[in-house]
Amino acid sequence: MSEQLVKIKKTTAFIKNNFPKKFRPSVALIIEKNFEMLSGFRILGEAGFDEIFSQDENLKKNEGKVIFANCGGKDVIVYKGRFHYFGGVKMRDIGQMIYVLRYLGIKKIISVDEVGHLNPRFSCGEIALIYDHINLMGDNPLIGKNDNELGLRFP
């Protein structure tokens, strides 16, 4: 088993062990740590990134948290806060968080971000759908040999 898969499975197990009773999420929401939760979300519990990543010095510094919530009768995992490459976090560690969602059984991910810089004609609060993305940063969490245990890289 690869080192990355070991980390993913440890993180997944920690998060699952903190699930509220009968919590079965199929949707994940990724938001910035300063983003206010919408009123329709009922918070059922949470765990700080510092607890989840206590074994990884680079990741446990992050002030984010995983929130267990319910919205409209659906259980939702919320990553409140995210890791940033410009903050010194390796791309592979950033990608690990998405793999963890997969191992938690998440089928849909909604990522909320500030994207006004993509088009100066965007208005504040406008919804932008990004359906294609070209990474121009020179690094990518998918670089290297595919780990078949993680699944098909480009399904």
Class of 3-142 per CATH? Answer: alpha beta
pLDDT band at 4; cut points 50, 70, 90: confident
Q: Can you give the pTM of this predicted structure?
A: 0.84
Query: Is residue 77 helix, strand or coil?
Result: strand
Q: How many CA atoms lie within 13 A of 131 on its CB side?
A: 1
For the chain, the structural domain boundaries read 3-142
Assign 71 to helix, strand or coil.
strand
Per-residue pLDDT at 136 exceeds 80: no
Closest CA to 45 of 30, 28, 66: 66
Residues 122-145, mean pLDDT to the nearest whole number: 78
